[in-house]
């Protein structure tokens, strides 16, 4: 099993780079995971990442794209409540890339 | 953007120059023990795997006469060689359908034919070695089971069934694919491919009801687990989760609303997809199909309608009655099951929907025939209804529609490149390369007619195109749901 290291702390990831245990996540880990994709996390990224974790804690699944865009729109203004904005932040797709940075399991299925 | 070269558009569809072993790889990620065991397969490769694999092959040869015929009948005429989108996109000769079949056939000959047992070299028969198992795993996961090759085979040899048999053999020895098997295990545990639990599903549906109300001023419902309604809608869980799928779901809801048909989604059978077909597992396919039957009984519905999902419609149309029938408790006036496009088409024919085509005037449309719908099912009561009905629905809601070239549509349609259990990031190279022929056809209607959007009726196609369109210079949002177009055009009655 592969590991990523942040601040001397090793955490386990699966073969696709997703944390195997949600509870091992912290912000430094998120930065290291983003760094692997050559992304620097800004305040806008953190808004999304924190929402994903909150939603996951309540529902045990990442939010559907409309749930996410609506929540972001309410928080940051309607011009940001769309998937175009999210793809600008997370070019590989908000569902997969943002979930990975947030320490959530990879969403599966026909998506 | 990619760690591999995206194949260039060809000036005209020539057969590519062969590049042996171009796609020789390790194949997709292997299933974990808990995914395997949830499906009744060994957790990891068993010690006596050769013996077990041959035993399983013998079992399948006995159970499926078609499989035996496919192993015996090929005369190497070559008609199939250039028909596979993966061969066209990768140039790897092992992606020629005949070569893909031969990976299994060489072992079949060695253990199950007289000539192969005694004169293996004369008939190309080979012992099952680890090297051959690895080739099976790699190349049977470069087949989307789209069945285009079988249309051109004079014997009707169906490579999809051979690839399903190969995956079933590999699963039975503990060597399954992570993507498919993890998903099937989630259906058993949670009810859908995504692993979307009931509270999240309810929250998502409520949010969509709010969105429709905001946008239209009309309260359109997306009911869940409501007993005694007319219709149980079974749709891919991607319809709840992803774009453009969700716009299709909103379209179904508006159609039901406007037609006054009471309906519900089931939290127990919240998935139309049946990935067990991809791995050739009859037992698992039946287990998933029975969930739909159970939901229909529990919710006391009169009809079952399937949403936009390609292989689900194959399982529903072709196998549901034998897997989970009889459905004598449903209303015999309606087809069991019915496709959402059939339902909408019938309503349009009856003039029951008010449609404003100009709502889609910002788009010029074409339609991608999804392989399982095109080559394994039908819609309506006329031959070729599966080609006619989705197009008629689109034309009823859009002013601008153009077909792609005739050898790339209807039963000659090219797969999106992500079907059959290949829609996973670890197979991105084969997905992108396999999309080449469809992208070429789309380019042609873009150049000739100014087409801006391609509509589809399959969750896999929609996700695959969202991902691969940008590799070929298109935008990811050029793929739309058919019922998204209906959703745009439908004129809802104002609130009373």
Residue B172 belongs to a domain: yes
Mean pLDDT of A66-92: 93
Residue B408 belongs to a domain: yes
Q: Are residues B93 and B117 in the same domain?
A: yes
Neighbours of B30 (CB within 10 A): 19
Q: Is A61 on the interface with B (CB under 8 A)?
A: yes
Residue that terminates a domain, selected from B122, B150, B176: B176
> Which residues of B make CB contacts under 8 Å with A?
29, 179, 182-183, 186, 192-197, 199-200, 203-204, 207-208, 211, 236-238, 240-243, 245-246, 273, 309, 423, 425-426, 459-460, 462-463, 467, 476
Known active-site residue A110 = yes
> Of the residues A28, A50, A110, A111, which is catalytic?
A110
Residue B27 belongs to a domain: no
CB contact under 8 A, A109 and B309: no
pLDDT bucket at A43, cuts 50 / 70 / 90: very high
Q: Are residues B235 and B114 in the same domain?
A: no
Q: Are residues B201 and B159 in the same domain?
A: no
CB neighbour list of residue B51: distance below 8 Å, 6 or more residues apart: none
Range of the domain at B83: 33-176
CB neighbour list of residue B32: distance below 8 Å, 6 or more residues apart: B178, B182
Residue B7 belongs to a domain: no
Q: Is A74 on the interface with B (CB under 8 A)?
A: no
Q: Is the pLDDT of residue B496 over 90?
A: no
Residue B17 belongs to a domain: no
Which residues does chain B have within 8 Å of residue A15's beta carbon, measured at their own beta carbons? Answer: 29, 426
Per-residue H/E/C for chain B: CCCCCCCCCCCCCCCCCCCCCCCCCCCCCECCHHHHHHCCCCCCCCCCHHHHHHHHHHHHHHHCHHHHHHHHHCCCCCCCCCCCHHHHHHCCHHHCHHHHHHHHHHHHHHHHCHHHHHCHHHHCCCCCCHHHHHHHHHHCCCCCCCCHHHHHCCCCCCHHHHHHHHHHHHHHCCCCEHHHHHHHHHHHHHCCCCCCCHHHHHHHHHHHHHHHHHHHCCCCCCCECCCCCCEEEECCCHHHHCCCHHHHHHHHHHHHHHHCCCEEECCCCCCCCCHHHCCCCHHHHHHHHHHHHHHHHHCCCCEEEECCCHHHHHHHHHHHHHHHCCCCCCCCCCCCCEEHHHHHHHHHHCCCCCECHHHHCCCCEEECCCHHHHHHCCCCCCCCHHHHHHHHHHHHHCCCECCCCHHHCHHHCCCCCCCCCCCCHHHHHHHHHHCHHHHHHHHHHHHHHCCCEEEECCHHHHHHHHHHHHHHCCCHHHEEEHHHHHHHHECCCCCC
Q: Is the pLDDT of residue B9 over 90?
A: yes
CB contact under 8 A, B204 and A66: yes
Closest CA to B489 of B400, B398, B401: B398
Q: Is the pLDDT of residue B495 over 70?
A: no
CB contact under 8 A, A60 and B200: yes
Give residue B494's pLDDT.
73
Q: Is the pLDDT of residue B2 over 70?
A: no
Q: Residue B146: CA atoms inside 13 Å, Cβ hemisphere, count?
A: 34
Q: Are residues B66 and B141 in the same domain?
A: yes
What are the pLDDT digits (tens) for B374-394?
A: 999 999 999 999 999 999 999
B469, B478 in Cβ contact below 8 A?
yes
Which residues does chain A have within 8 Å of residue B460's beta carbon, measured at their own beta carbons? Answer: 110
Q: Is the pLDDT of residue B103 over 50?
A: yes
Q: Is the pLDDT of residue B411 over 80?
A: yes
What are the pLDDT digits (tens) for B284-339?
A: 999 999 999 999 999 999 999 999 999 999 999 999 999 999 999 999 999 999 99
Residue that terminates a domain, selected from B148, B176, B204: B176
Q: Is the pLDDT of residue A17 over 70?
A: yes
B163, B143 in Cβ contact below 8 A?
yes
B391, B367 in Cβ contact below 8 A?
yes
What are the pLDDT digits (tens) for B451-468?
A: 999 999 999 999 999 999
Q: Residue B33: CA atoms inside 13 Å, Cβ hemisphere, count?
A: 4
pLDDT bucket at B279, cuts 50 / 70 / 90: very high
Residue B101 belongs to a domain: yes
Provide the residue ranges of all domains of chain A, joining segments of one domain with +.
2-101
Give residue B42's pLDDT.
98
3-state secondary structure of A2: strand
CB contact under 8 A, B246 and A66: yes
Give residue B24's pLDDT.
98
pLDDT bucket at B14, cuts 50 / 70 / 90: confident
Mean pLDDT of B17-44: 97
B225, B299 in Cβ contact below 8 A?
yes
B474, B447 in Cβ contact below 8 A?
no
Neighbours of B331 (CB within 10 A): 12
What percent of chain B has a predicted confidence (pLDDT) above 70? 99
Domain count across chain B: 2
Topology of domain A2-101 in CATH is Arc Repressor Mutant, subunit A (1.10.10)
Residue that terminates a domain, selected from B146, B176, B206: B176
ipTM here = 0.96
State the average pLDDT for chain B: 97
Q: Are residues B482 and B355 in the same domain?
A: yes
Residue B3 belongs to a domain: no
Q: Are residues B291 and B394 in the same domain?
A: yes
Q: Are residues B377 and B477 in the same domain?
A: yes
3-state secondary structure of A39: coil
Q: Are residues B336 and B386 in the same domain?
A: yes
Q: Are residues B396 and B267 in the same domain?
A: yes
Q: Are residues B252 and B344 in the same domain?
A: yes
CB contact under 8 A, B29 and A96: no
Residue B1 belongs to a domain: no
Neighbours of B334 (CB within 10 A): 17
Mean pLDDT of B341-364: 98
Q: Are residues B95 and B144 in the same domain?
A: yes
What are the pLDDT digits (tens) for B173-214?
A: 999 999 999 999 999 999 999 999 999 999 999 999 999 999
Which residues does chain B have within 8 Å of residue A16's beta carbon, measured at their own beta carbons? Answer: 29, 425-426
User: In whole angstroms, how far apart are CA B403 and each of B349, B389, B400?
Assistant: 22, 14, 10
Give residue A7's pLDDT.
86
Q: Is the pLDDT of residue B1 over 60?
A: no
Q: Are residues B428 and B473 in the same domain?
A: yes
Q: Is the pLDDT of residue B401 over 60?
A: yes
What are the pLDDT digits (tens) for B420-454?
A: 999 999 999 999 999 999 999 999 999 999 999 99
Task: Using the structure block, give the residue that is written with the tokens 């245990």.
Answer: A21
């Amino acid at each position: 099993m592969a590991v990523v290291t942040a601040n001397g702390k090793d955490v386990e990831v699966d073969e696709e780079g997703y944390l195997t245990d949600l509870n091992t996540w912290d912000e430094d880990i998120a930065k290291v995971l983003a760094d692997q994709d050559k992304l620097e996390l800004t305040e806008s990224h953190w808004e999304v990442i924190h929402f994903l974790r909150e939603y996951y804690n309540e529902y045990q699944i990442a939010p559907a794209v409309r749930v996410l865009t609506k929540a972001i729109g309410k928080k940051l203004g309607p011009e940001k409540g769309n998937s175009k904005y999210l793809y600008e932040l997370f070019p590989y797709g908000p569902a997969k890339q943002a979930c990975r940075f947030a320490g959530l399991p990879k969403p599966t299925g026909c998506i | 953007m990619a760690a591999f070269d995206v194949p260039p558009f060809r000036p005209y569809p020539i057969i590519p120059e062969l590049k042996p072993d171009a796609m020789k790889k390790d194949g997709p990620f292997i299933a974990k023990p808990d995914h395997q065991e949830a499906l009744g397969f060994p957790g990891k490769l068993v010690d006596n795997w050769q013996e077990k694999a041959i035993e399983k092959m013998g079992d399948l040869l006995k159970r499926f006469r078609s499989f035996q015929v496919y192993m015996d009948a090929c005369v190497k005429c070559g008609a199939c060689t250039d028909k596979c989108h993966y061969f066209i996109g990768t140039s790897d000769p092992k992606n020629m359908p005949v070569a893909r079949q031969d990976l299994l056939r060489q072992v079949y000959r060695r253990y199950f034919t007289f000539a192969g047992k005694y004169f293996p070299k004369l008939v190309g028969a080979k012992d099952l070695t680890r090297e051959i198992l690895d080739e099976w795993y790699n190349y049977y996961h470069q087949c989307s089971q789209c069945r285009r090759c079988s249309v051109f085979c004079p014997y009707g040899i169906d490579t999809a069934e051979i690839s399903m048999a190969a995956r079933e053999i590999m699963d039975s020895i503990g060597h399954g694919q992570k993507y498919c098997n993890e998903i099937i295990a989630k259906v058993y545990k949670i009810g859908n491919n995504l692993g979307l639990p009931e509270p999240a599903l309810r929250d998502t549906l409520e949010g969509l009801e709010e969105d429709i109300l905001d946008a239209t001023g009309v309260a359109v419902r997306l009911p869940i687990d409501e007993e005694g309604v007319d219709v149980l809608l079974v749709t891919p869980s991607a319809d709840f989760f992803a774009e453009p799928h969700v716009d299709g779901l909103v379209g179904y809801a508006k159609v039901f609303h406007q037609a006054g048909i009471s309906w519900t989604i089931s939290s127990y059978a919240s998935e139309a997809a049946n990935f067990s077909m991809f791995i050739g597992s009859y037992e698992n396919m039946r287990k998933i199909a029975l969930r739909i039957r159970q939901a229909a009984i529990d919710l006391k519905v009169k009809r079952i309608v399937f949403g936009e999902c390609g292989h689900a419609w194959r399982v529903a149309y072709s196998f549901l009655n034998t897997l989970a029938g009889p459905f004598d408790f449903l209303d015999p006036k309606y087809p069991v099951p019915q496709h959402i496009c059939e339902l909408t088409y019938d309503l349009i024919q009856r003039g029951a929907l008010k449609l404003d085509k100009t709502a889609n005037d910002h788009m010029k449309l074409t339609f991608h025939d999804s392989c399982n719908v095109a080559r394994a099912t039908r819609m309506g009561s006329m031959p070729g209804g599966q080609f006619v009905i989705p197009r008629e629905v689109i034309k009823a809601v859009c002013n601008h529609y153009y077909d792609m070239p005739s050898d790339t549509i209807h039963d000659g349609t090219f797969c999106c490149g992500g079907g059959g259990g290949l829609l996973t990031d670890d197979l991105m190279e084969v997905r992108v390369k396999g999309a080449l022929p469809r992208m070429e056809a789309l380019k042609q209607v873009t150049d000739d007619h100014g087409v801006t959007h391609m509509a589809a009726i399959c969750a896999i196609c929609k996700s695959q195109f969202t991902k691969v369109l940008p590799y070929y210079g298109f935008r990811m949002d050029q793929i739309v749901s058919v019922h998204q177009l209906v959703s745009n055009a439908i004129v809802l009655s104002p609130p009373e």
